[in-house]
Chains A and B, each alone.
Chain A
Amino acid sequence: MTVLLFTLIVLIGAFLAGLLGSLTGLGGGVIIIPLLTLGLGVDIHYAIGASIISVIATSSGSAAAYVKEGITNVRIGMFLEIATTISAIVGVVIATAIKADYIIVIFGVILLFSAFMMLKKKVDHSNNEQTSILANYFKLNGSYPTEGGLKQYAVHHVVGGFAMMFVAGTLSGLLGIGSGALKVIGMDNIMKIPFKVSTTTSNFMIGVTAAASALVYLHKGQIDPVIAMPVTLGVICGATIGAKILIRTKTDKLKIVFAVVVTFLALQMIYKGLTGNA
């Protein structure tokens, strides 16, 4: 394939990945990897390197848009980043040690799980019962502005949340994805952080975690500039436009269609990994 054709295909694909990723909240990485591996026959190592770059691009791009609301809890983010950055590097080390086929299968399973989580109705578990000793010690409890003034919230199950972030970080480093779905479980369900805070805070963490593993991937030679160029440009354009459409459109139907597509891609990845066609 010539450079021109390859660049054009990846550019269009990355644009759609960024657009759909920001409209559905699934992120860009989960589409970039199947596009490159299934669609263009790119080795999974290069696909992961390109994906981690797209994760950073979407995270920083949407963080800039979120900032106006000013509700990121930097303390929660920074505290949990100890877990996500260390485990991201553990994930990259695991990726070096195991067969590429296994990585492809694990990716497929996580993709299925992400599609399921995207459709599942989110329930806000937040309250202000400041019972956790660790949350008090680490000053994790906070408040965010609402129309009726500042609303206080308490953080729960710090150890459980920290452990969940360790899993999320490992998968992020192993697969080159943001692990948004797992971070949601950790923050919304286990730590009971309100949506308004968890969405932006997990986005902050995704960028920092991806940066840690991206540097290792760069050294391993997995970030190829010929792939990184169209991926970066396409994803950023797509995500920016997606964020603008999102403000005035309902995405419920799109999410269902997208979940079907993602499930199909996930099964294909699992099949590819199991049959050893990697």
Chain B
Amino acid sequence: MSKEIKHYLGDKDVQVILGTLLRVGVIVSTSIVLIGGIIFMSSHTQAVVSFEHFKPEEAKFSSIADILFGVRSFDGLAIIQFGVLLLIFTPIARVVFSIFSFLMEKDYMYVLIGLIVLCVIIASLYLDVTH
């Protein structure tokens, strides 16, 4: 029984760090989206938008490289997209964090399972399914 309690407390510490990680991830990415939004809105409020038809060829910031390039030139839309990217990476960071905690517990089966999940996500980065 004592071993179980110790195990639970260890998990609890991990959970507290995880909670902080998630909260920071959400706050930082939301703030960046807000900043990008303000920059974009300051010069485009009266521009006309239409999303009636899907035009993937017109998408400006649809890869990590394009987003980072746009952020450097202080483009509002690129900054929004950068914030969105950070938001997407928040749960991925949670997977990476879990893999490390399994490694510390010497639970190699779950290190492997975590790595499989991470590989699937990384593979999705390189998947080309454009029309």
Contacts and interface: CB of A to CB of B under 8 A. Distances in A.
A222 B80 contact: no
B109 A138 contact: yes
Contacts of A78: 95, 98, 110, 113-114, 117
Interface in A52-74: 53, 56-57, 59-61, 63-64, 67-68, 70, 72, 74
Interface of B: 4-5, 8, 11-12, 15-16, 18-20, 22-23, 25-26, 29-30, 33-34, 36-37, 40-41, 44-59, 61-63, 77-78, 80-81, 83-85, 87-92, 94-95, 98, 101, 107, 109-110, 113-114, 116-117, 120-121, 123-125, 127-131
Contacts, number: 215
A60 B91 contact: yes
A215 B11 contact: no
A214 interface: yes
A168 to B, nearest CB: 15
A96 B49 contact: no
A143 B129 contact: no
Contacts of A53: 84, 87-88
Kindly state the interface size class of chain A when it binds its partner. 35 or more
A250 B74 CA distance: 46
Contacts of B129: 92-93, 96, 216, 219-220
Given A41-B52, A220-B56, A82 B84 contact: no
B117 A1 contact: no
Given A219-B130, A229-B33, A213 B124 contact: yes
Nearest to B113: A78
18 contacts: A3-B41, A3-B47, A4-B41, A60-B25, A78-B117, A79-B113, A81-B117, A96-B130, A96-B131, A139-B110, A150-B8, A208-B121, A211-B90, A218-B63, A220-B129, A221-B56, A222-B54, A229-B33
Contact of A150 (B5, B15, B58): B5
Interface stretch (A42-50, A119-127, A241-249): A42-50
Contacts of B120: 82, 85-86, 89, 212
Contacts of A36: 51
Which 7 residue pairs are nearest across A and B when measured between Cβ atoms? Answer: A221-B59, A67-B19, A207-B91, A221-B56, A225-B80, A45-B54, A4-B45
